[in-house]
Structure 1
Amino acid sequence: MSPAFRWRTRHGEAPPLNRQAMSRAQARLDDLTKPRGSLGRLEPLIVHLAGISGHVVPRIEKPLTVIFAADHGVVEKGVSLYGPDVTEEMAVNVAMGSAVSSVLARGAGSDLWMVDVGIRRPVRHPGVRVRKVGLGTCNIAQGPAMTAEELNHALEVGWQTVCEAVDQGHDLIILGELGIGNTTAASAMAACLLGVPAADVVGPGTGIGAETLVRKTAVIDSALRVNQPDSHDARDVLRKLGGFEIAAMSGAVLAAAMQGVPVLLDGMTTGVAALAAVRMEPSTARYLIAGHCSPEPAHKLILGALDLTPLLDLSMRLGEGSGALLALPLITQALKIVAETATFTDARVTNPHHARVAEEPVQQSGGAGPVALGFTPMEKEAVYKVIWARRDIRIFLPDPVPDATLARILDAGHRGPSVGFMQPWNFVIIRDQETRRRLQALVERERVIAGQHYPDAQRDYYLRLKVEGLMDAPITLCVTNDPTRGGPHVLGRNTIPETDVMSTACAIENMWLAARAEGVAMGWVSMYRKEDVRDVLGIPEHVEPVALLTVGYTPHFPEIPVLQRVGWRQRVDLASLVYEERWGNPTHRMEE
């Protein structure tokens, strides 16, 4: 299927904004510990992003800057200070991380893609994504910039680039462009789409003087006169006056909007590309954010036509996404405010306008939630996979566990939740074979004693089970609990003192899950007397040895727990364990 055909078959309206999320986001903003409306233009920005994401507390976690680059035939008319070779040289500079946009992207935490849509020379850097439509456009002062087929191809490049980005989890597209002569093409498009004289939209671009400015205006007038573009047909305007990178940006805007992803615009050239996209599909406008306003005369007119208020006005005229990248930290900081600032209720501060804050009842709406999940579907699936695949393992291989892997497992345990943040755990790493033999003897003694509690047949069955791997696994961890950690009064532990042990159990579960994700097996040994383990390991009297964990590689992780496989016990049906409101009152909410 040709790119042109794919483009013609793809039409539709961008998803509507989630009005309920917007209403609830505004209510939350009004309830934060600040005067109402005191964040100025940041507040409608936050509400807008809530509407785009469907989350009351929206987040931007993986922004991407896409710079589309191409050359322009109109440069031969002397409308720029720079020659056409500069486009390729600057594309390399961006890809090398040395351009202004590269520095800003790193500082703002944005990935950056440089896309060659039509640079005349081969780009001398492997990091540039080569998606050439052609070797630059034709001279618009003498005829159309491109053919209809080239236009469709350029739109498709933008579309496919954004689709790839969204597939990789990018949740904000920052548009930038690069191309000597592109302000001439963009100004010509602006004059046509806005229905204003060329003199009202032509600016200095990269810094041309008065004589060149007059020539640039005359070239645009000539392009409008020669091409006679239809101002009501954005595709016709793009084809006759635009550039490959401008058309690609229009395709990028359309693709992002159709997938519900916001687009942060840079300067005048990205603005006119967005205007063309909105003229092709008006619903696209819902997903646009203006990063800044450049001094190019056309830019204010374009932003007005798009009904956008820029976040910044720094008189910048660099391009390359630079103005938008400077606005990105402003957006991320605004979203941190709505996520992390306490409400009047949270802070126990009297709310002076409580009576005016009304939140709509929560309703289920298309899978959206109050906050962004922070995980891609694949990452979320991985979390559940490791939970379901965790097993208590008794069979180990002798191969050593790398120190770095063990450190990550221990760190996972140390990041476990604890009441009052008391962190009552310690971890004793035991590799010495003689120490493990002494521990194994203690466990074996208690295992035999425990067997006496079962009837004869079941006792024989029990004694045949392998319930520990202390001598097989290369590492044993003793996890301890110190009930004195945090002092005599620990926050949240006044009425339930055993929450310290519960906290240590959380640390153990964290390690167990981390070990499974690392492909490392773990078994919990619990048959011992605490005083015996204290004696072997020199543990203080007040510290409890909660668990001996055997750690190592295993030849096999069983699909179901071993005790279930051998018929000792079966997993209890979850529905029989869940009650609604009161003990014994079954719930029906968990039924499929």
Structure 2
Amino acid sequence: MSLIESICKNIYPLDTRFMEQAQARQDRLIKPQGSLGKLEDISIQLAGIYGSKYFDTTKKIVLSFACDHGVYEEGVAPNNQNITLLQSMNFPKKINGVGTISKFVGSDVQLIDVGINCDEPIEGVIDCKIRKSTSNMAKGPAMTRQEAIRAIEIGIEMSEKYIQEDYKVIGIGEMGIANTTPSAAIISVIAGCDPQEVTGMGAGLKKELLQHKAQVIRTAIEINQPNPTDGIDILQKVGGFEIGSMAGVILGCSANRVPVVLDGFISYAAALIAVNINPRCKDYMIASHYSAEPGAKKALELLGLDPFLKMDMRLGEGSGAALAFNMIEAANYVYKNMLTFDEVDMGM
């Protein structure tokens, strides 16, 4: 049995017994029922994930994955590809976006290299390189099926490594110039829509080049004919190694009853791959924020998720997931520490 098959056999529905207990406590807290909105929803979901009425959410980490993309040569990104390498060097120093936010919220960050276009190892970055960059999906499959499987397996292995180190909440992020192109392709395939509907500027592509980017995606889909019902086939044909690894983290967290916090647009694509492989993993996801990418709405509708932050962010890296950690901690703190009507004489 493969690692993916094995992990999927261990993904179970949320524990409704503890969700009912959490709901009952929320209903007795000294406030109108439902008045804390999504803060209440988060605590109830967490009770179902952890299988416990009370739980600890203090030890948190963002697992980010870095990869370059062969489709870069089609002119779909405004920045030089070597920025993937240069920015990856900043993750261990915590001086980039996700790093500084993580320092503020008390979270750890770990970057994993699954396909940076370089030979040298990067200090502080875990080397799981599948190969240097995916292939150009506009000319053929982005990777082999075995490479797609390996990308997912790396994510599963990384999630289990940090769960064994007692991390209670895991966020996902990425680094890779041109990775909004495969992300839009994945969403387009699964949604059955034209790429133009879900293609955005990414890291700053000029508006006049958006049609070109959409056409590149359209060509890639036409050439490769990914099967919309086979998540691994979609990943192989038009995906990225880092997208596969984030999908693997989602599957790994779900099987180990640990919440996984999505970041933005690229993580939505990874989530769609994970749900395509095992729909039950959706229950273990917490969507952090609405990405500013135009395809975000479509992807979130497909996932049935409603993020609790709207910050017009499109940085990636895991920055939105890290920012959401404080909201998750706040939800848990209120849930545990607000008194109930039974504990306070309020005549109710």
Q: Which residue of 2 aligns with 1:316?
A: 313
Matches within 5 A, 1:358-437: none
CA, structure 1 residues 126+190, in 2 after alignment: closer, same or farther (shift >3 Å)? same
Matches within 5 A, 1:120-159: 120-122=117-119, 125-159=122-156
SS of 2:90's partner is: helix
Q: Which residue of 2 aligns with 1:219?
A: 216
- From 252, 255, 262, the equivalent of 2:252 is 255
Hey, what's the Cα distance between the residues in 2 that align with 1:106 and 1:346?
37
- Pairwise CA distance, 1:6: 4.0
Question: Are 2:88 and 1:91 equivalent residues in the alignment?
Answer: yes
User: CA deviation digits over 1:366-422, x for unaligned, max 9?
Assistant: xxxxxxxxxxxxxxxxxxxxxxxxxxxxxxxxxxxxxxxxxxxxxxxxxxxxxxxxx
Hey, what's the Cα distance between the residues in 2 that align with 1:128 and 1:258?
25
- Pairwise CA distance, 1:345: 2.0
- From 36, 39, 42, the equivalent of 1:42 is 39
Maintained 8 Å contact 2:8/2:251 = no
Letter in 1 for 2:257: G
Gaps of 5+ in 1: 352-592
- Pairwise CA distance, 1:350: 2.1
Maintained 8 Å contact 2:62/2:321 = no
Maintained 8 Å contact 1:71/1:136 = yes
Question: Are 2:164 and 1:167 equivalent residues in the alignment?
Answer: yes
Gaps of 5+ in 2: none
Q: Which residue of 2 aligns with 1:474?
A: none
- From 92, 108, 117, the equivalent of 2:105 is 108
Q: Which residue of 1 aligns with 2:338?
A: 341
Hey, what's the Cα distance between the residues in 2 that align with 1:9 and 1:285?
18
Matches within 5 A, 1:175-190: 175-190=172-187
CA, structure 1 residues 295+211, in 2 after alignment: closer, same or farther (shift >3 Å)? same
Hey, what's the Cα distance between the residues in 1 that align with 2:267 and 2:140?
23
Hey, what's the Cα distance between the residues in 2 that align with 1:42 and 1:91?
33
- Which structure would you say has the larger RCO, counting Cα contacts within 8 Å and 6 or more residues apart? 2
Letter in 1 for 2:209: T
- Pairwise CA distance, 1:193: 0.9
Hey, what's the Cα distance between the residues in 1 that align with 2:344 and 2:18?
23
- Pairwise CA distance, 1:155: 1.2
Q: Which residue of 2 aligns with 1:81?
A: 78
User: CA deviation digits over 1:20-42, x for unaligned, max 9?
Assistant: 11111111111111111110122
TM value normalised by structure 2: 0.97
Question: Are 2:24 and 1:33 equivalent residues in the alignment?
Answer: no
Maintained 8 Å contact 1:88/1:123 = no
- Pairwise CA distance, 1:262: 0.8
Maintained 8 Å contact 2:89/2:122 = yes
Hey, what's the Cα distance between the residues in 1 that align with 2:2 and 2:35?
50
User: CA deviation digits over 1:226-246, x for unaligned, max 9?
Assistant: 111111111110000000100
Question: Are 2:222 and 1:199 equivalent residues in the alignment?
Answer: no
Maintained 8 Å contact 2:91/2:110 = no
Question: Are 2:19 and 1:22 equivalent residues in the alignment?
Answer: yes
Q: Which residue of 2 aligns with 1:210?
A: 207
- Pairwise CA distance, 1:123: 5.2
User: CA deviation digits over 1:133-170, x for unaligned, max 9?
Assistant: 01010001000000112112111111111110111111
Hey, what's the Cα distance between the residues in 2 that align with 1:254 and 1:308?
17
Range 6-15 or range 133-142, more displaced: 6-15
Maintained 8 Å contact 2:7/2:251 = no
SS of 1:102's partner is: helix
Matches within 5 A, 1:559-574: none
Hey, what's the Cα distance between the residues in 2 that align with 1:115 and 1:160?
11
- Pairwise CA distance, 1:11: 3.8
Question: Are 2:325 and 1:328 equivalent residues in the alignment?
Answer: yes
SS of 2:200's partner is: coil
Q: Which residue of 1 aligns with 2:289?
A: 292
Maintained 8 Å contact 1:13/1:281 = no
Hey, what's the Cα distance between the residues in 1 that align with 2:119 and 2:95?
19
Question: Are 2:280 and 1:283 equivalent residues in the alignment?
Answer: yes
Hey, what's the Cα distance between the residues in 2 that align with 1:41 and 1:9?
33
- Pairwise CA distance, 1:122: 3.6
